[in-house]
Structure 1
Amino acid sequence: MPEDNLLKAIHGPQDIKEMNLAEILELGKEIRDCLINNVSNNGGHLASNLGVVELTIALHRVFDSPKDQIIFDVGHQCYVHKLLTGRYEKFQSLRKEGGLSGFPNPEESMHDILKTGHSSTAISSAVGLLKAFQLNGENDRYVIAVVGDGAMTGGLSYEGLNNGGRMPGNLIVVLNDNDMSISENVGSFAAYLSKIRSRQGYFKFKDILTRITTGTPLIGKVFYRFFQKIKQALKSFFYQGNIFEDMGFAYFGPIDGHNQKTLERVLKRAKNLKKPCLVHVKTVKGKGYSYAEDQPADFHGLSSFNVATGEHGKKVKPDFSDIFGEELCRLAMDDHRICAITAAMGAGCGLSEFAKTFSGRFYDVGIAEQHALTFAGGLARNGMKPVFAVYSSFLQRGFDQVIHDIALQGLSMTLCIDRAGIVGEDGETHQGLFDIPMLLPVPGISIYSPTSYAELRCILRNRVLNGTGISAIRYPRGYEPDMVLPFHHLEEPAEYTGTSKELCIISYGRQVVNCLKGIRLANLQVSFLKLNRIFPIEEQLVRSLMQFKKILLIEECYQTGGIGSYLGNLLMNRHYTGYYRNFGIDNLFLKSGKPDDLLAECHLDGASIAKMIRKFEEYPE
């Protein structure tokens, strides 16, 4: 790692407040070097963090964290913030088990206000934080929400703006625009107006005019209102205004997010207004590292890479997401009713080829899972076959739509749940452990959990073409198992292997492999039941389980509300008299770590399962 002479001397934001401009610019270079070197080893979100170096420095120079609270929407762009708040010495542990989180984490620092990981939440959180300050009489404190332009595709951002704009107080929203234009500016006049509005001279003149006109008896306020109307009319004609001002925010920008002096000047101005402000900042993703600037999407979230060449690990074989995308394309060739929907995760969910081949039936709705599901319901109502591909953790945002807009209406669609189960290094906010407990109570739903690519293809084909109601297909991040599985009836809801009548082990999805490893290590004669359709479990299958003296269900899911709890109720209702136990994950949020390490920590690896089987087999008859 380079020397980082300035960076390693920073123990908190106070250490950068007295630096001169030359030192600040050098600090920015050191931060970028530190980001590139650490992410190249540990993986993580690089391009977004390289793009907010100057912005984050400016925020910590203008405001007083943690007295003033800074909230990063989504949170993956918080690495610079971590470096400026005393975590340089631990930065090499980023995204490692027991190390720094890749997202804000109040357990690490008082400068991290909330754990964030999902999009579009920051503004609403900021409004609540500020209101609490006001109720406590702490009116000198500020709350700053840093929100990306992508997050503005999520409706919750506008709910926050709608309420924040009408609430007086020190609320500042920083819109980090690194891709698309939010409001359309027209010609050179708009750029000139933006430039003037970002100058202190303009603001001083405006303040003086306000004091003179409003301070003049009788006619002052009349003149002020007149000047305001003239200004608004000119701005509407030349500039067309924007939604933020209409919602009650003073708007600044767009400004250059890599000009340190301008950033600090405008943020100070917004701070001095003491009213809701929105500062629109234009930044470049990957700034300062040519490979990331040229290919920001490739350097958004990635594994380790070669700093000198920019080369990083690329998939050498297809994963579950790719297989899903390939099979859906194959089905769509023969059925024009099949439509694919994603919420800003087209590439991640394996839909890139579908988007190219069937562009008229591919819908990326942005970070708007609620809309995606209700939109799917509308498609289904009028005869289409919608398929919504979504990460398990992001599906949580659309739970009401699953119930109200699809299930209640008796509509049919396919819900393809990617990243189901333990995901790994992205930590608590991204583990896919809530989809089963969330979906089990939904009337009419069917849930499938394939272990292999062949099973995924078979289930997807069957449900898309013939499914009724909601068909949820969940599969993990990564690849199918290398081992040969002793199962052959892909279209069956479940399949047995083994002939023991004493002990039956049950599992599904990725965990089937670890269970088979555990059975082999335990070296015991047991039967094994693999569930392909995990819900509903048909009555005939429950009856077949009554023959076993002991039943152990093992799943990569929370014990509370999982398939084990559901099956236990079915057995109890049939007065099962043997020993039954379900084993899953305790109800806690799993932190960052490699999936295999986290599985072992949860006692769901092969060795742990072998011990569990031996212990359970020794239970009294």
Structure 2
Amino acid sequence: MSQLPNLQTLRRLPAGDLVSLAEDIRAFLVERVCAVGGHLGPNLGAVELTLALHRVFDSPRDTLVFDIGHQAYVHKLLTGRAGRFGSLRAAEGLSGYPSRSESPHDLVENSHSSTALAYADGLAKARRLTSDSDRAVVAVIGDGALTGGMAWEGLNNLGAAPERPVIVVVNDNGRSYAPTTGALAAHLSELRRAGATPPRRNFFTELGFDYLGPVDGHDVGAVEEALRRARALGRPAVVHAVTVKGKGYGLAEADEADRLHAVGAVDPATGRPAAPTSPAGSPVTSGRSWTSAFGAELATLAADRDDVVAVTASMLRPTGLHPMREKFPERVFDVGIAEQHAVTSAAGLAMGGFHPVVAIYATFLNRAFDQVLMDVALHRLPVTFVLDRAGITGPDGPSHHGMWDLSVLSAVPGLRIAAPRDAHQLGEQLREAVACQDGPTVLRLPKATAGPAIPEQARMDGIDILHRTRSGPLDVLIVPAGPLATAALDAVALLEDHGLGVTVADPRWILPVPASLPALAARHRLVVTAEDGLRTGGMGTALAQACRDTAVTTPVLTLGLPTAFVPQGPRGALLARSGLDGPGIAAAVHAAMAGAKDAVTAATHQATHASASPATNAVMSSGGRDGDI
């Protein structure tokens, strides 16, 4: 791509130059995003729209808020970040979403859907209170994001406030991850069909907005004219821009399954994943993802039980529900980007005699915590939540790591949480979850390949013993959550080489703490828990409390993620950085054992004695004396 114009030059470009500029931008996006991965389809569809926005409005003096921020790649290009696209979504690289640390043009780091109108409402109030009313506030929102409850709340507030002249640009491509569903989608479709002569009254005008459109979102001049008119109105206005997702890249335009919405590294000629290679250059065989394993298991389970239904929030394929949808379309419900509605609707299904399986990304279930607590758990309803992308997810960064679910959901009475360690366990525990009829259940699945099966040596009171040192003392009990069983087993050799006796126990159902686990802990000198959630408030914290409640004095060392926003990066590297790989677990054990010995020595000499010194992302808890290991 030739040198991009800066924003001042862009505003002076003749209209005839904009077509070739848009083509150059599309070619750049296909080349760079296919090489490193990212959100391809949404950004190809927003090229002309973004050019028009930056020609009409003076960012950052005028504020542009993108909802969802994954459609902001062109905005990043036009605001001076083209040279960083080789590091898109890489560790310490360019974020896949707007980022305040990257540019003053990114005021809002918007990566969860349907929030832009609320931000815009607040900004407009602030501008009015500070007499900055000449600074425009523009919210760019997709038709998919308009299915979210917060978007409706924003429309309700903005439409009733003519003194807050927010411009709402509806980027309408008829899709989110999949075709947009619901009554509003049907209404937008009617407006699109009406073309140049839309009805004088529509949903937006009834709420108090002026409506401009529909306009061709790929005609820069038409979009510019509508935006200038909207600004001149001086009151809330909707500009309805009709776009084509994947515009200009035939494979993406024809991608009805939306596989090119967000991609890893792909071959731009085929749109198919590029074959990964080993350091020696030979192809690497990829394993099956946890998502696809779940999808196959659920479809099989649904064939066995006609009371099983599935619910998702506009993420049918990304959460693995497509196989069930193909077999039982009438039993799979996509409610749009509306997690709160999804959960309470599932509660209603359960009240009606069905067992709903609600498949949602772990990070997005945070938005429906009250519904899980008060609408499902309070009524002790049999609803199973399958949380995809639980724990560290990787390149989408802090907003998409599913690291809060254990700490948040551990507060829900009667909720049981399982963490399968392999695909076989996933199938087994999914059936156990659906068999529960006296309350809600949760299964956590990572964004990763489901590795080989990890067989148990024995099952004791529902706990799987994955390893036990054959002879000698029982020094350390390692309790991993789900897929971290692999890291726990990797730590065994490093510990046994130092003469320590090690047991690795997978509780399978990690919360509430299995009643037999404190008794097993009592037979060891130290317990170490490892979970890819916050190190406080999750499985380790609960086990430490259970030990105290049962007068077990064995200290519990809790390993997990820090209470911080973890940056983007490869999943394995981020887990290792938090001490959640084999060497990290072993190092934490050695540090804890050494710290305990020092504490005992200090106590013997009647010195002031400090607490044990755990690893960075660890918390030590004990029901007994300090240093009693």
User: Is TM > 0.5 for Structure 1 vs Structure 2?
Assistant: yes
* Rounded Cα–Cα distance in structure 1 between residues aligned with 2:2 and 2:274: 31
Match of 2:415 in 1: 445
Give yes or no for the alignment of 1:567 onto 2:543: yes
Match of 1:148 in 2: 142
Match of 2:92 in 1: 98
* Rounded Cα–Cα distance in structure 2 between residues aligned with 1:22 and 1:337: 60
Q: Secondary structure at the match of 1:281?
A: strand
* Rounded Cα–Cα distance in structure 1 between residues aligned with 2:554 and 2:75: 56
Q: Which amino acid aligns with 1:175?
A: V
- Out of 181, 191, 207, the position equivalent to 1:247 is 207
Give yes or no for the alignment of 1:302 onto 2:275: no
- Out of 294, 300, 306, the position equivalent to 1:324 is 294
Give yes or no for the alignment of 1:288 onto 2:248: yes
Match of 1:519 in 2: 492
- Out of 404, 429, 433, the position equivalent to 1:463 is 433
Structure 1 pair 316/560, CA: closer, same or farther in 2 (3 Å)? Answer: closer
Match of 1:359 in 2: 329
* Rounded Cα–Cα distance in structure 1 between residues aligned with 2:421 and 2:460: 10
Cα deviation, residue 334, structure 1: 2.6
1:210-235 deviation digits (Å, cap 9, x = unpaired): xxxxxxxxxxxxxxxxxxxxxxxxxx
Give yes or no for the alignment of 1:379 onto 2:349: yes
1:403-448 deviation digits (Å, cap 9, x = unpaired): 1111111211111111111000011111010111111111111110
* Rounded Cα–Cα distance in structure 1 between residues aligned with 2:142 and 2:191: 24
Cα deviation, residue 275, structure 1: 0.6
Match of 1:30 in 2: 24
Give yes or no for the alignment of 1:279 onto 2:239: yes
Cα deviation, residue 6, structure 1: 3.4
- Out of 166, 187, 212, the position equivalent to 1:183 is 187
* Rounded Cα–Cα distance in structure 2 between residues aligned with 1:372 and 1:436: 20
* Rounded Cα–Cα distance in structure 2 between residues aligned with 1:604 and 1:449: 16
Structure 1 pair 187/534, CA: closer, same or farther in 2 (3 Å)? Answer: closer
* Rounded Cα–Cα distance in structure 2 between residues aligned with 1:100 and 1:191: 39
1:362-414 deviation digits (Å, cap 9, x = unpaired): 11111111111111111111211111111101111111111111111121111
Q: Which amino acid aligns with 2:2?
A: N
Give yes or no for the alignment of 1:413 onto 2:407: no
Give yes or no for the alignment of 1:159 onto 2:153: yes
Match of 2:555 in 1: 579
Q: Secondary structure at the match of 2:135?
A: coil
Number of positions where the alignment pairs a residue of Structure 1 with one of Structure 2: 571
Kindly report which structure 2 residues correspond to 1:46-85, keeping only aligned pairs within 5 A, or say none.
Answer: 46-85=40-79
Cα deviation, residue 530, structure 1: 1.5
* Rounded Cα–Cα distance in structure 1 between residues aligned with 2:196 and 2:525: 81
* Rounded Cα–Cα distance in structure 2 between residues aligned with 1:610 and 1:185: 58
Match of 1:262 in 2: 222
Match of 1:542 in 2: 518
Match of 2:533 in 1: 557
* Rounded Cα–Cα distance in structure 2 between residues aligned with 1:173 and 1:243: 14
Q: Secondary structure at the match of 1:87?
A: helix
Q: Secondary structure at the match of 2:546?
A: helix
Kindly report which structure 2 residues correspond to 1:179-218, keeping only aligned pairs within 5 A, or say none.
Answer: 179=174, 181=185, 183=187, 190-194=194-198
Is 1:494–1:533's contact at 8 Å kept on the other side of the alignment?
Answer: no
Is 1:43–1:304's contact at 8 Å kept on the other side of the alignment?
Answer: yes
Q: Secondary structure at the match of 1:461?
A: helix
* Rounded Cα–Cα distance in structure 2 between residues aligned with 1:317 and 1:592: 23
Give yes or no for the alignment of 1:343 onto 2:313: yes
Structure 1 pair 334/307, CA: closer, same or farther in 2 (3 Å)? Answer: closer
Q: CA RMSD in A?
A: 2.1
TM-score (norm 2): 0.87
* Rounded Cα–Cα distance in structure 1 between residues aligned with 2:414 and 2:16: 64
* Rounded Cα–Cα distance in structure 1 between residues aligned with 2:2 and 2:321: 45
Structure 1 pair 578/330, CA: closer, same or farther in 2 (3 Å)? Answer: closer
Gap runs ≥5 in structure 1: 195-238
Structure 1 pair 282/260, CA: closer, same or farther in 2 (3 Å)? Answer: same
Match of 1:201 in 2: none
Is 2:424–2:453's contact at 8 Å kept on the other side of the alignment?
Answer: no
Match of 2:478 in 1: 505
* Rounded Cα–Cα distance in structure 2 between residues aligned with 1:193 and 1:536: 60
Match of 1:607 in 2: 583
* Rounded Cα–Cα distance in structure 1 between residues aligned with 2:194 and 2:229: 20
Is 1:141–1:170's contact at 8 Å kept on the other side of the alignment?
Answer: no
Is 1:519–1:613's contact at 8 Å kept on the other side of the alignment?
Answer: no
Identity of aligned residues (%): 39
Is 2:461–2:516's contact at 8 Å kept on the other side of the alignment?
Answer: no
Cα deviation, residue 240, structure 1: 6.6
Is 1:454–1:490's contact at 8 Å kept on the other side of the alignment?
Answer: no
